[in-house]
Amino acid sequence: MNTPICNFLERYTAENKLRLHVPGHKGEFPHDVTEVHGADSLYRSDISGGIIGTSEALAASVFGAKKTCYSCGGSTLAIQTGLALLKSQGCNTIAASRYSHRALASAAAMLKMNVKWLYPREFMSADVVYDAEAVSGADALFITNIDYYGGTWKFVNPKMPVLIDNAHGAYLKFVDKNIFGADYRHPMELGFPLMSAESAHKTLPVLTGGAYLHFANGVDGSRAKEMMSAFGSSSPSYLILESLDRFNAMIAENVQMVNNACEAVLLLKEKLESAGIPMKKSDPLRITVNARECGMSGFDFARGLRANGVECEMADENYAVMMFSAVTSIEDVERAEMAIMFVATGTPQPLVRFPEIRPAVDMPMWEAMFKPQRIVPVERAGGEVCGSINAPCPPGVPLIFPGEIIDHNVVEALKMHGVKTVSVLTKTGV
């Protein structure tokens, strides 16, 4: 498959021109250029007919999308763009899981959109009911396809505008469902109109920040570049664009690479299960160990992995999450297996139960974010109005949002996540 961005950067480097243009390293990183002649512009690529637009069209064909826009700001920029498009099309209220990524909240606040929170059956789960009653009053729906533990939602057509956060699931398009089942599906396989924001860099061999915004048939994405330019840097990284472009050819030449990686991880899961390592059900490129059943917290399990030469993606009170990728090898999973097996286990403990957070709302999020604020210790925050998004990262999922009243359950949840201080609205006269 053609790689127009890669080809251009190779040609430009070979010409050895005196670079009297930014960036200031002047060629020390030869493929890191700016919008020089022939390099195209990310925010005009849909009308320029240049190398970026050509590469994006190739990506759309690879993923089965009507249209694909590259993002150099991760799926965060793709989510911001998607919400801005919905706003431009008349959406004022979006329904979303309470455990959505912070990118949703910050973008909604900047766009003065209201969010109707939907509550999953368990803490930080993607398994949310999106029936007519739940989404009533909303103009559009925001869905998380895979949560940080590796859970997913039930694939139903909500028959309303949809933006999906598929940050962790870009690889699913290339997974053989006959082998790994249809429990996890790529949004472009669902068959109804939607936008899908997905981080290429999380599970594909792409540089950090590389992401897609895909459009399925029936969705108007004609103003996507305009909306993306409102949030994204005017100097997008050509190194990131190059890595996105390179992946098109990589997957076209070897689509089996993803299934090979999934098979290697599946083999590891089977070995761990046989060895009695308790795991939560997760997508094909993730292992989520129930550390409590191993007699420790997820933080302790992560320290054990680290001592054995492995760094995991995320840990919390209950679980340790390990993420693999489309280029994971047998050698990688063998090394992971050894590290996991060498973590000392103890007497099983019950899961830590997080307080249910359903705080009262004092004012709209977009209003509270920009009011005067002060910092207070979490222990003294009860009864105050939250002023900022409080989201431990990873997973980047907020516990409390601006405009909400901090109650006892919120205080306890923040303390359990190690949050020491919180920004609250300054009281009148204080």
Q: How many domains does one find in the chain?
A: 3
Say whether both 323 and 403 belong to one domain: no
Q: Label residue 113 exposed, middle or buried (CB < 10 Å: 0-12, 13-18, 19+).
A: buried
Say whether both 83 and 12 belong to one domain: yes
Contact 395, 124 (CB under 8 A): yes
Mean pLDDT of 260-282: 97
pTM attached to this predicted model: 0.96
Say whether both 268 and 291 belong to one domain: yes
Chain centroid offset of residue 363 CA:
27
Residue 359 domain-assigned?
no
The residue among 253, 269, 298 that closes a domain is: 253
Q: pLDDT value at position 122?
A: 86
pLDDT band at 267 (very low <50, low <70, confident <90, very high): very high
Say whether both 249 and 262 belong to one domain: no
Residue 348 domain-assigned?
no
Residue 200 has pLDDT above 90, yes or no: yes
Q: pLDDT value at position 394?
A: 83
Q: pLDDT value at position 252?
A: 95
Mean pLDDT of 233-238: 96
Chain centroid offset of residue 251 CA:
21
Q: pLDDT value at position 429?
A: 54
CA distance 138 to 160: 9
The residue among 341, 373, 397 that closes a domain is: 341
- Cα four-point dihedral sign 82, 84, 89, 91: positive
pLDDT band at 128 (very low <50, low <70, confident <90, very high): very high
- Averaged pLDDT score across all residues of the chain: 95
Residue 350 domain-assigned?
no
Residue 430 has pLDDT above 70, yes or no: no
CATH number at residue 76: 3.40.640.10
To which H or E segment does residue 67 belong? Answer: strand 67-71
For the chain, how many helices (H) and strands (E)? 15, 13
Structure tokens at 253: 């030449």
Say whether both 176 and 40 belong to one domain: yes
Contact 425, 384 (CB under 8 A): yes
- Cα four-point dihedral sign 244, 205, 319, 260: positive
Residue 146 neighbours by CB under 8 Å, 6+ apart: 126, 152, 166, 167, 168, 169, 184, 283
Task: Write out pLDDT tens, residues 360-393.
Answer: 999 999 999 999 999 999 999 999 999 999 887 8
Residue 428 has pLDDT above 80, yes or no: no
Say whether both 38 and 66 belong to one domain: yes
Range of the domain at 374: 365-425
Task: Write out pLDDT tens, residues 392-403.
Answer: 788 999 999 999
CATH number at residue 283: 3.90.1150.10
Residue 282 domain-assigned?
yes
Say whether both 31 and 156 belong to one domain: yes
List, as one string, the DSSP characters of 212-223.
EEEE-TT---TT
Mean pLDDT of 284-288: 98
The residue among 253, 280, 314 that closes a domain is: 253
Residue 243 domain-assigned?
yes
Residue 155 neighbours by CB under 8 Å, 6+ apart: 185, 190
Task: Write out pLDDT tens, residues 296-354.
Answer: 999 999 999 999 999 999 999 999 999 999 999 999 999 999 999 999 899 999 999 99
Q: pLDDT value at position 390?
A: 84
Say whether both 299 and 224 belong to one domain: no
Say whether both 284 and 169 belong to one domain: no
Say whether both 144 and 230 belong to one domain: yes
Residue 176 has pLDDT above 90, yes or no: yes
Say whether both 262 and 314 belong to one domain: yes
Say whether both 248 and 260 belong to one domain: no
* C-alpha triplet 396, 149, 185: angle, nearest 5°: 105
CATH number at residue 384: 3.90.105.10
Residue 62 domain-assigned?
yes
Q: pLDDT value at position 343?
A: 96
Residue 373 domain-assigned?
yes
According to DSSP, the residues that pair with 323 across neighbouring strands are 286
CA distance 146 to 226: 28
pLDDT band at 249 (very low <50, low <70, confident <90, very high): very high
Q: pLDDT value at position 241?
A: 98
